[in-house]
Structure 1
């Protein structure tokens, strides 16, 4: 299987390192310092206090590789425009593209039965560039349950979790997707196949669409946010609004906000990925976590005053810091 990783940040680095460690050939599209690090040292993974580097083929231009069997897109939403501009040489008629990303993807309503089936989401694909370059029928959705960070360019730290939930937008996994699942499982990742991947995406979003932006605004870890009763109540209100949207679109949550927040609180002083991005001066993935939810609420005719308030606040914050 010809496998290409597009984006070797924290999540991509963990997935890619597992694949490379299993002995499979892996190509990685990277740039700048990450490209240099991969060429000189390979892909690094730090786990249980031990750092190991694995050889990969690093390229800056996807055209050097040609069509792949599997392309793993593991970048944050602000980088997707660059992916759209460069990914075409990697995709043949049989290529599967696995999107290992936070938030709601552009293809979310393709194949999702319900009142918004087939809806186009301009907040995450404003020029339809992604839709035109990556056919939805070739997508594998991926929900990542791995806590990780980037130690330095080309080196990921795997802190907690090892799980990926994968599935196709149109329902039951095809033989090709089952083959991808088997490959990833053989690489030591905990793989769950889902026939309702959009529900899994919405459930994870419901849990992290509060902690990420609020931590970015405040600079606080998740435990401090949830220990404040006013902030906790604000999070619950946002989650109740998102649950109402989920019920309408066919992605019921099935958990109380307080129960989910208790789980988050039990994880201790967690620094969210968006707070890490603020500290590193990187653009924030606001659209995939909040703008798109606001857009979906508008299409559904559901009032979301708390989601709207949080979106406005974090949008102004990011603009004032040059992170948008």
Structure 2
């Protein structure tokens, strides 16, 4: 099995290192000092489960790799529409694209069934720009329940979690999903093939849609947001509105708002990825987390006043960052 990791940052390099340990033919696409370190020393993983080094082929030119069986996509969703020149050399007729993406994916309504089957969301696939590069029929969904960070170029610190749930948009248990799942498991990771991955998407989204934008607006950690009474109530309302949108689409995740809040509080003084991006001056990945659900609320007729308010405020923040960068 030949795999390319496009966007081999903390999560991508961790997955690539695990697949390499399983005997897969793995190739990492990265750039800058991180690429130089991986070329020189391999991917060095520091983990409570045991440290290891994987000497994996790494490059900044996908043409050096050629067509592969699976592309594990570790890019931010904001980069998907522009990744055509990078991903094209990696594709053959049956190549799958496994997108480790938070939020609502561009393929959400592909194979969905019902009245919205095939619908395109402008917030995540504007004018079809993402679908033109990443054909929905190639997509395998992936929900990441692992936390990693780059401790230094070429050094991945694994903090917690090893589960990468995957699934086909049409809910089938395909041979390509089973093949990738088996390789991930052989590399020491959990990778269940879920018949309905959309439930996992909504469960993870409950936290991302609320904590991520609020953390950027308030410059607050998970613990700080949970312990502030007013903010905790706002987050609870956002989660409730999100579950109502999911239900309107026929998806009813088996989780309560209080359970989700309690789990977030236990995380402690963690800074969300959106807050980290804000502090580094990077684009905020809020369209797939928040704007998409507001758009879905409009499609389904669900009232989401709190989501709309937080979306307006965080969108203003994102616009200001883009203006300052320009």
The two structures have a TM-score, normalised by structure 2, of 0.93
- The equivalent of 1:305 in structure 2 is 305
- Secondary structure of 1:116's partner? coil
- The CA distance in 2 between the partners of 1:320 and 1:176, in whole Å, is 42
- The CA distance in 2 between the partners of 1:294 and 1:99, in whole Å, is 22
* CA offset digits 1:124-167 (Å, max 9, x no partner): 12142321233322221110000222223332211011111111
Q: Is the 8 A contact 2:109 2:116 kept in 1?
A: yes
Q: Is the 8 A contact 1:26 1:57 kept in 2?
A: yes
- The equivalent of 1:236 in structure 2 is 236
- The equivalent of 2:264 in structure 1 is 264
Closer, same or farther: CA 22–130 of 1 in aligned 2, 3 Å = same
- The equivalent of 2:71 in structure 1 is 71
Deviation of residue 87 (structure 1)?
A: 0.9
Q: Is the 8 A contact 2:203 2:255 kept in 1?
A: no
Deviation of residue 51 (structure 1)?
A: 5.3
* CA offset digits 1:36-75 (Å, max 9, x no partner): 2222222232213975432122222222222101110012
- The equivalent of 1:121 in structure 2 is 121
**Is 1:46 matched with 2:46?**
yes
- The CA distance in 2 between the partners of 1:235 and 1:37, in whole Å, is 40
Q: Is the 8 A contact 1:8 1:154 kept in 2?
A: no
Q: CA RMSD in A?
A: 1.9
Q: Is the 8 A contact 1:114 1:249 kept in 2?
A: no
- The CA distance in 2 between the partners of 1:309 and 1:59, in whole Å, is 43
- Secondary structure of 1:19's partner? helix
Deviates further, 75-84 or 7-16: 75-84
- The equivalent of 2:315 in structure 1 is 315
* CA offset digits 1:267-315 (Å, max 9, x no partner): 2222212122222222211111111111111111222111111111112
- Secondary structure of 1:148's partner? strand
| Structure 1: stretches of 5+ with no match in the other structure | none
Deviation of residue 240 (structure 1)?
A: 1.1
- Secondary structure of 1:193's partner? coil
Q: How many residues align?
A: 324
- Secondary structure of 2:58's partner? strand
- Secondary structure of 1:16's partner? helix
Q: Is the 8 A contact 1:72 1:97 kept in 2?
A: yes
- The equivalent of 1:296 in structure 2 is 296
- The CA distance in 1 between the partners of 2:135 and 2:49, in whole Å, is 40
**Is 1:284 matched with 2:281?**
no
- The CA distance in 2 between the partners of 1:77 and 1:133, in whole Å, is 12
**Is 1:132 matched with 2:132?**
yes
- The equivalent of 2:168 in structure 1 is 168
Deviates further, 295-304 or 131-140: 131-140
Deviation of residue 266 (structure 1)?
A: 2.0
- The CA distance in 1 between the partners of 2:282 and 2:172, in whole Å, is 37
Deviates further, 307-316 or 264-273: 264-273
- The CA distance in 1 between the partners of 2:134 and 2:316, in whole Å, is 31
